[in-house]
Amino acid sequence: MVLLALLLACKNHGSGETDDTDTTTDAVCTEPADVPCVDEMILDLSLHDDLVATDADVTTTPDGADFVSTVDATAGGFGNEADHPWVYMKFTAEGLERVDLDDESALDSMDWDIAARRFILRLNGGSSGPSCVGAAAFTETTYEDLTAVPDGVTYVPDDYYTDDCTIINDSSGLPGSPQVALGPWWEYPGCLATTGTPFLIRLADGRIVKFRVEAYYATGQVQCNANGTPGSDSAMFTWRWTFVTP
């Protein structure tokens, strides 16, 4: 019996899957809600209604207690994103998984947590989807130092439409760039620089994901961050994340 207990305790060590994924949590929501301003969002974010899901690659590698995921959010390259669907994904105990949904179906589905296209990251809730996924940004700490969920955290859903369905753009000034909850992952000194801001993302089932964008470019992210020189292969994301105990 002692040996069995030891084996169970060591099962997930170094695999990227921690005991936190087994923690029982209370669901935040269980039924889809109506998404506001759908017609406007279809136009503003170039959502597609042709029932075609993306075949973009999403891969995950365990790294100690973390997962490192690469996400192809290139959408045909700069300037072509309006002609391509978003990439929809969910966080699982085995890693980040692509969910084969087209843009129209995603507006009715709770089966995705996060969506990406180029530099915009949407969460499934609020203005972006029918679920209740929200995030909290921690601009005054690091991913490594964010080891537990602080008391009194407020998880904010995407909220980028006014009451009359006018889009609220972020500070970039770029058209069709909404003020999403994960917006603080980047800044623009002449390229898409990563801020290193860690986030806690609360999923619909109550689980919490610690999340950081490590790179937007396949190569050259360090130079972009240091001197504003764009890297190569933009929108080939690298994300680091793990489940944490609520």
The reported pLDDT for the residue numbered 23 is 56
Q: Which residues in the chain come in under a pLDDT of 50?
A: 1-21
Determine the structural domain holding residue 51 and report its residue range.
2-244
Instruction: Give the total number of structural domains in the chain.
Output: 1
> What is the chain's percent helix, strand, coil content, to nearest 5?
15, 30, 55
Query: 221 by DSSP, 3-state: which?
Result: helix
The reported pLDDT for the residue numbered 19 is 42
AA letter at 1: M
Q: Which of 107, 111, 124, 99 is nearest to 34 (CA)?
A: 107
Residue 246: CB partners within 8 Å, gap ≥ 6?
23, 25, 149, 202, 206, 207, 208
First CA to last CA distance, the chain = 30
